[in-house]
Structure 1
Amino acid sequence: MNVRRLIPTAALAGALALAAPALTACSGTPSAGAADGRLAVTASFYPMQFLAEQIGGDRVQVASLTKPGVEPHDLEITPKQTAQLGESDVVLYLKGLQPAVDEAVAQAGVKDTVDAATLTKLDAHGPGGHDHEGAHGEEAGHSEEAGHSEGDGHSHGEAGGDPHVWLDPSKYAEIAKGVGAALEKADPGHAADYRKNTDELVGKLTALDTEFKDGLKNTATRTFITTHAAFGYLAERYGLDQEGISGVDPESEPSPARMKELQERAKKENVTTVFFETLASDKTAKSLAADSGLKTDVLDPLEGITDKSQGADYFEVMRSNLKNLQKALGAK
């Protein structure tokens, strides 16, 4: 991952904060405060934006730091975004996923800042995703005891924890509850609305969890190969075995030995499909598939929604992921 430092621009930031007009969520720039009395919420990337929109409803004005189509791991923050971030009422982000965001949030000093990594337990997942500590029933909190990701050479999240928690609907529901509580605290006058919306969203996520459990209960194989190891929590939740070509960072290049290992694993486990995603290069996945005589398909880590996504929102894309997994794993 390229960790890019932010340039201190206090004078410029002050001028921009005064001059910049309020911006909408689709601009990819945080709002400079909601002029119509709504809560101004800035989200770091799509999974946080979706929670804010679902729970906040028409009581909030939501903006995302990550534009559609941008790979979130690579996001650079502009001085303009940093200045306007400081005028948000609430900031939602996931510490450890986007270093530039972590630094900007620290600089902004917003009172109501929510780190999603503190709302559920993070585990360590490497390319093989075999760490199963704390998979179920854990109390929400930091995963400071979690080990480092094996084999990918990058540290993610708190103490090396894998940050891709939203791909497990049950963990995403835990985060939703924390986000709902934060919005209630920031805007107590509309607490009942936030609570109602949170309960509805958690209900939908619980139903989605059941769909995945039932849909992946009986399959011909339990192993799937994907471009980057973003699906450790999903695999853990539903008893699958994720094999990532690269680690949890999509930029890390697999070694020739890793590619050979995956070819052997695919043969041994009767793997049919190599998955690639919409925001990262599919070159390595297609190369592995061609060398191994396998098919390719999409498994979307839902780090952003574009016109190439197999669905218009979190639930639609997750159901597309389920359908593609069922097909690849030979669900019965």
Structure 2
Amino acid sequence: MNVRRRLIPTTAVAGAVALGLVTLSACSGNSDAADKGSGKLDVVASFYPMQYLAEQIGGDHVSVNTLTAPGVEPHDLELKPKQIGQLGDADYILYLKGVQPAVDEAIKQAGVKNTVDATTLTKLEDHGTEVGHDDHGAEEPGHEGETAEEHAEHAGESEAGHEAEGESDAGADPHIWLDPVKYAEVAKGVGASLEKADPAHAADYKKNTDALVKKLGELNTAFETGLKTTTTKTFITTHSAFGYLAERYGLEQEGIAGLDPESEPSPARIKELQDVAKKDNVSTVFFETLASDKTAKTLAQDTGLKTDVLDPLEGITDRSKGDDYIEVMRSNLAALKKALGAK
């Protein structure tokens, strides 16, 4: 995906990591990221979609800290030494590689044994500003019939294999949490990995995982039913976060920006979107809560379209239309149904 220029460079991150680890050693257990006396598993999550999984599956057996505070656009995050100290002292780290390069580097340097990259628990795809539905329903190779335990087992192998071969998922779309089916796959893998990290509470992790997967299944059914018959299949959104959702439900995403919410669209792209809106009977231009809505509102004004919020769920704030992942996703569904003319 496109990486924001404001992110600190890798060398600076490595320096900060070193400083953070030195600080951690000097404090000798005084980090507030871990309360070893509580008996809970100290979990550090990179940003909200990972935090939600950890909290839902971990339940009372985990203490979850997130590196990305509410209201902070995850791509903008610059880690402080204290946060890097939290990483080094964690019992378990859950992150999603490709969203936050500064976090990716710090986690790599921290070397925590129980580190899970959510991208290894499902299959990533390449998405750009435009995602159609021609591939909707295609099977994902290499994961057919694979259990959650096998997903978790392969997670570390996949990470090591990519590094050994010099491969990168830099061009892949990381927004897997916006597809309830893929998010459920990740949930199963996270549950299996927590069972291994904390075997004493494995039964509870399994129970919580099953409950979450059930809720995500019900959410998927709601999307399938709600978007089955619509006047149009095309929606325009600020940044191209909804590629997996579009493919899952037979829609066509037209992003003003690419995978990076702050990349500027060209005049040619704006003209193209104006043509698409007219051709496909688009009624609404969607913007989001954590990124600028200026371009979306300008495009809507120029084309005589309405505006509404389609939340990529990178963080929950007072402006979010819901208190958690499920509630905000249902708000997204309501917004899509209205904009697409669902019947």
TM-score w.r.t. length of structure 1: 0.90
* 2:300 is equivalent to residue 289 of structure 1: yes
Call closer, same or farther: CA 1:234–1:12 in 2, change over 3 Å: closer
Q: CA deviation at 1:8?
A: 1.6
Q: Is the 8 A contact 1:129 1:243 kept in 2?
A: yes
- Residue 12 (structure 2) pairs with residue 4 (structure 1): no
Are 1:91 and 2:93 an aligned pair? Answer: yes
**2-structure distance, mates of 1:279, 1:234:** 19
Alignment of 1:66-145 (within 5 A): 66-130=68-132, 136-138=138-140, 139-140=142-143
**How far apart in 2 are the matches of 1:18 and 1:313?**
37
- Structure 2 counterpart of 1:89, one-letter code: D
- Deviation of 1:327 (Å): 0.3
> For residues 234 and 94 of structure 1, what CA distance do their matches in structure 2 show?
18
Separation in 2 of the partners of 1:104 and 1:53? 22
Structure 1 residue identity aligned to 2:339 = A
- Where 1:61 maps in the other structure, the secondary structure is strand
Q: What is the SS of the residue equivalent to 1:69?
A: coil
Are 2:234 and 1:223 aligned?
yes
Percent identity over the alignment is 66
Q: What is the aligned partner in structure 1 of residue 161 from structure 2?
A: none
Alpha carbons 1:273, 1:297 under 8 Å: kept? yes
Letter in 1 for 2:88: G
Match of 2:278 among 258, 267, 273: 267
1:170, CA displacement in angstroms? Answer: 0.2
> How much does 1:79 deviate?
1.5
Q: Distance in 1 between matches of 2:36 and 2:136?
A: 40
Q: 1:220-276: CA deviations, max 9, x gaps?
A: 000000000000000000000000000011011000000000001000000000000
Alignment partner, residue 168 of structure 1: 179
* Offset, 1:192: 0.3
Out of 302, 307, 310, the residue aligned to residue 318 of structure 2 is 307
* Cα distance between partner residues in 2 of 1:185 and 1:238: 34
Residues in 1 aligned to 2:25 and 2:246: alpha-carbon distance in whole angstroms: 44
| 2:54 match | 52
Which string of whole-angstrom CA distances, capped at 9 and with x for unpartnered residues, describes residues 47-106 of structure 1? 000000000000000000000000001111112211220110110001111100100001
CA contact (8 A) 1:229 1:244 kept: yes
Which one-letter code corresponds to 1:205 in the other structure?
L
Q: Which residue type is aligned with residue 127 of structure 2?
A: H
Q: How many residues align?
A: 312
Aligned: 1:189 with 2:191: no
Partner of 2:162: none
Give SS of 1:228's match.
Answer: coil
| C-alpha separation in 2, matches of 1:60 and 1:318 | 25
Partner Cα distance (1:72, 1:281) in 2: 14
Q: For residues 190 and 79 of structure 1, what CA distance do their matches in structure 2 show?
A: 32
Q: Is the 8 A contact 1:92 1:114 kept in 2?
A: yes
Deviations 1:107-140 (A, max 9, x none): 1000011000010010111101248658543244
Residue 202 (structure 2) pairs with residue 198 (structure 1): no
Kindly indicate whether the alpha-carbon contact (under 8 Å) linking 1:32 and 1:85 is maintained by their aligned counterparts in 2. Answer: no
Q: 1:132 to 1:105 in 2, by over 3 A?
A: farther
Cα 1:131–1:239 change in 2 (3 A) is closer
Deviates more, 1:86-95 or 1:13-22: 13-22
Which residue does 2:188 correspond to in 1?
Answer: 177
Q: For 2:310 and 2:126, locate their aligned partners in 1 and report how far apart those are by CA, in whole Å.
A: 21
Give the deviation of 1:35 after TM superposition: 2.9
Q: CA deviation at 1:4?
A: 1.4
Q: Which residue of 1 aligns with 2:165?
A: none
**What is the one-letter code of the residue matched to 2:240?**
A
Question: What's the C-alpha RMSD, in Å, of the aligned pairs?
Answer: 1.9
Counterpart position of 2:163: none
Q: Distance in 2 between matches of 1:80 and 1:214?
A: 46
Q: Which amino acid aligns with 1:52?
A: A
Aligned to 1:65: 67
| Residue 321 (structure 1) aligned to one of 326, 332, 335 | 332
Q: Larger relative contact order (C-alpha < 8 A, sep ≥ 6)?
A: 2
Please, which moves more after superposition, 78-87 or 283-292?
Answer: 78-87
1:13 counterpart residue number: 21
Q: 1:35 aligns with which of 31, 37, 52?
A: 37
Normalised to the residue count of structure 2, the TM-score between the two structures is 0.87
Q: Which letter maps to 1:8? A: G
Q: Please say if residues 55 and 198 of structure 1, whose CA atoms lie closer than 8 Å, have aligned partners that are also in contact.
A: yes
